[in-house]
Amino acid sequence: MSLFTSTSGEKRLALRAGLFVAIGLAVAGVVVFFIGQESRLFQRQVMYRAYFTNVQGLSDQSPVWLGGLEVGKVTGIFFSQDPNDPKLEVQLQVSARYADRVKTDSLAQLSSMGVLGDKAVDISLGTPTAPPIEPGGVLASSTSGDLSKLLSSASEVMDNSVAISKSLLKTVEAYGDPKLAGDVQRGMASLRALLEQVQNGDGVLHALIYDKEAGREVRTLMANASSAAKRVDGAVGHVEALLREVRTGDGTAHALIYGNEGATALRELGAAAGQLAGLIEDAKKSPNGAVHQLVYGDASGMFADLGSAAADLKQITATVAKGEGTVGGLISDPTVYEDLREVLGNVKRNRILRALVRFSLNNREDLEQVGKVKRVEPKAEAPASPEQETRPPASVTVGESVTPPAPGTTQTPEPASTPATAAE
């Protein structure tokens, strides 16, 4: 049957069938278009990779988010080819229009989609100045907390809460024990008695709390302790300054500690100690030496001599104190002083003696030279006259030599040295 030869009824049937097919095709096209828009079938895609240690709740076709916006999906989850590598490889398909927003410092992590445990891959936006990742590159990944871990933590928290409740219940039950109540009551009574003793007694605590004088003494003691601490601090500062001066200065202590002089001094000290040890050894081996006698000899004789000398000295001083003897008379007898003064006065009043004193003072050098003349051997002496035999010898000054007169000559007596010289 042809369309042109068919009846009107058949034509209407064919038109209806064609219209139905056209509408079906149009609906199918619209459905395909919307599905393509949803699944981005008509957009260019870029592939990335990320590695996770646990992908629980993640599957193929799981969404991929970029800053919270869905931009792709998961296309595959694979184990690593290395059996020792615990991480799993996740392939991510992202629309090319968002590829320039996936930066090298972007971070991929698993996020929960709900209470059912479904997961999605959430990619952070990264910094604007960072370059984008090349297609097929690897995203840095991190593990974020998921609901299962949260539930596990909540379970642990509940277990701990139950344990704490049981412990608290045991504590409360222990307080209900009559024995514990009696112990607490006795402890409170002892504490009350102690406080009453502190308040009414005369002990140290009572004085510290209620006695004002004790309080002032305590404050004085604390002030003294503070002052002592300050002095100690100052002394420590002085010691530190002294040590710093010794360390950095150029004095004797610095030279002894840090310089070569210290080693030299120690060597010299060691040498001196060796010499002293030698001297001691020599003194020990020389029994006739004075040091040996002083150290190792019999000291009884020496002490006896010292005692005898001390006794003699005591006797002499006692004699002088009594005024006996010449020295005692000079010290104790005033008449000796008066006689000496009278003699000196007579010398002053005597013209001849004064002339002799002046002559001796004026010719002192000549008189001294006289004492230095060499002694001349005397010749045969003539018999002395009776006057010369009876004449007393002239006084000679100690330390001077007198030249004997030549034979047949008379010697002029030299004036004697008298105390008048000092008086003149």
Phi, psi of 132 (to 5 degrees): -75, 155
Residue 392 has a pLDDT of: 45
Identify the three-state secondary structure at position 267.
helix
pLDDT of 38: 59
DSSP state, 103?
B
Among all chains, which residue has been given the structure tokens 């001094």? 265
The dihedral built from the CA positions of residue 73, 78, 82 and 84, taken in this order, carries a sign that is positive
C-alpha 142: how far from chain center: 49
pLDDT, tens only, 359-399: 777 776 666 666 554 554 555 444 544 444 444 444 444 33
> Above pLDDT 70, what percent of the chain?
71
The predicted pLDDT at position 26 comes to 85
> Domain residues of the chain, as ranges?
1-42, 44-144
Judge if pTM exceeds 0.85.
no
Length of the chain: 424
For the segment 227-247, what is each residue's pLDDT rounded down to a tens digit?
A: 888 889 888 888 888 888 878
* E strands present in 83-217: 88-95, 107-112, 119-123, 138-142
pLDDT of residue 408: 45
> In tens digits, what is the pLDDT along the chain, a chain of 424 residues?
455 555 777 878 888 888 888 888 888 877 776 665 555 556 788 999 999 988 888 888 899 999 888 888 999 999 988 888 888 999 999 988 888 999 999 999 888 887 777 889 999 988 889 999 999 899 998 876 555 566 667 778 888 888 898 888 777 776 667 777 788 888 888 888 888 887 787 777 777 777 777 777 778 888 888 888 888 988 888 888 888 887 887 777 777 777 777 677 778 888 888 888 888 877 777 776 666 666 666 656 667 777 788 888 888 887 877 777 777 776 767 777 777 777 777 766 677 777 777 777 777 666 666 655 455 455 544 454 444 444 444 444 433 444 444 444 444 444 444 443 433 3
Hey, what are 391's tokens?
Answer: 């004449």
DSSP 228: H
Task: For residues 381 and 147, give the distance between their C-alpha atoms in angstroms, rounded to a whole number.
Answer: 158
For the packed helices 147-175 and 178-200, what is the interaxial angle rounded to 10 degrees? 70
